[in-house]
Structure 1
Amino acid sequence: MARQPRYLPAGHSFHITLRCNSRQFLIAKGLRRDVLLAVLSKAKQKVPHRLYAVCLMANHLHLLVRPDDASQLPKLMHWFGWYSAMALNRLSGRCGHFWEARYYATAISPKDHRRVLNTLRYIHANPK
C-alpha cells in the first residue's frame, strides 16, 4: 500500500520529530549532539529554511522549521537524515539504519500564533 503524500502547504512551519532506530539512545553523548547541530547548520546551504527551535534528546529530536519553499521539506529531511546517519554511524563505528522509519511532520499555519507558541513551548520543555 502506498504512503499518503505529505501535506505541505506554502508558508507553513513544520514541527518535525525524528526518532533513533529501535528507540535506542544513540544521540546521548555530547559529541554526537555537536555533529547533529553541525549537520543542521550545513542543511541551510542545501535547502533554504528558518530553524526556530531544536531539542536533541537521547533517542529523538524535535525541530520547528519553516522552509522557504514548503515543497522542499522532503528534500531537506532526506538530506539531513542521510548525512547525519552517515556521520553518526561513522563516529559510532556502527552501520545500518540510524533513524527509525520516516520523520513526523505537522504543518502549522503562520496565522495560528497560539499553536506556534505552544509548539515552541513543547519543544523547549521536552527535556523535562
Structure 2
Amino acid sequence: MPRHARLLLPGYPHHIIQRSHNRQPCFLQRSDYSHYLEWLDEFGRTYDASIHAYVLMTNHVHLLASIEDVVQLPILMKNIAQNYAQYLNRRCGRSGSVWQGRYYSSPVTTDRYFLTCQRYIELNPVRASMVDAPSRYRWSSYSGNAGLLADELLIPHTTYLSLNAHASKRYEAYRGLFADAISPGDLHLIRRAVTGNRPL
C-alpha cells in the first residue's frame, strides 16, 4: 500500500512526533539527550527552523517547530534521526533501526491550539507520571518558555510572544496556563491530528 503524502502547510508551525523502534528506549543516559539536542540545534539552524517547544521522552520525541521552507522539514528530521541513530548504535556497539519508520506531523493552524499544543508537549512527563510538575523534567522546553532557565535552542513563536510584551509578565502568564489541565477533548484532537497527519 502506498504511503499517504505528508501534509505540510507553509507558514504554520508543525507538531512532530518521532517514536523509537518497537517503543524501546532510545535515550539511555544523559549524554544521549544532550547529543540529540545538539543535532536539533545544528540542523535547525541549517534549515532555518525555529524550535518553539520540545520534550525528549525515553522512547519518543515531540517537537513544535516552524521552518522557513516547509518542504525542508522531512530533510531536517531525516538528518537529525540518522545522525542520532548512528551515534547511538556506535556508542552501544550495535546495528539496526533506532526509529519506528517515518515521524508523525500535524500543522497547527490556530493561536488557541498552538498554545494548547505547546502545553501538551511540555506536560508529557507529567502525564507519564515521571514528574509531578513540568519544571522538574530536564529534557523539555518548559523551563525555557516559563522563564526559569535560559534555553538558547528556543525561538519564540509570535503567539507565545503575544502573551505579554514584557518578558517577566509573559513568563508569568505562560506559567499560569499550566494551572488548568488540558481537556480530554483537546487531548483527543491533538493526538488524532498528529497521528492522522491532519491540521490541528
TM-score bracket, shorter-length normalisation: over 0.9
Q: Which structure has the larger Rg over C-alpha atoms? A: 2
Read off the aligned partner of 2:121 and give its amino acid letter.
Answer: I
Structure 1 CA distance for aligned equivalents of residues 61 and 44 of structure 2:
18
User: What residue number does 1:58 align with?
Assistant: 58
TM-aligned CA deviation for residue 71 of structure 1: 1.2
Check if 1:21 corresponds to 2:32. no
User: Contact 1:51 / 1:63 at 8 angstroms: preserved in 2?
Assistant: yes
CA displacement, residues 27-72 of structure 1 (integer Å, 9 cap, x when unaligned): 1421110111111111124311100011001111100010111111
3-state secondary structure, aligned to 1:94: coil
TM-aligned CA deviation for residue 82 of structure 1: 1.1
TM-aligned CA deviation for residue 92 of structure 1: 2.0
User: Contact 1:62 / 1:123 at 8 angstroms: preserved in 2?
Assistant: yes
User: Contact 1:18 / 1:103 at 8 angstroms: preserved in 2?
Assistant: yes
Q: Whose RCO is larger (CA < 8 A, sep 6+)?
A: 1
Structure 2 CA distance for aligned equivalents of residues 84 and 97 of structure 1:
11
CA RMSD of aligned residues (A): 1.1
CA displacement, residues 89-111 of structure 1 (integer Å, 9 cap, x when unaligned): 112222110101110001112xx
Check if 1:115 corresponds to 2:117. no
TM-score of the superposed pair, with normalisation by structure 2 = 0.61
Q: Which runs of 4+ in 1 moved over 6 A?
A: none
TM-score of the superposed pair, with normalisation by structure 1 = 0.93
Structure 1 CA distance for aligned equivalents of residues 118 and 107 of structure 2:
14
Read off the aligned partner of 2:99 and give its amino acid letter.
Answer: W
Matches within 5 A, 1:4-15: 4-15=4-15
TM-aligned CA deviation for residue 23 of structure 1: 0.5
Paired residue total = 126
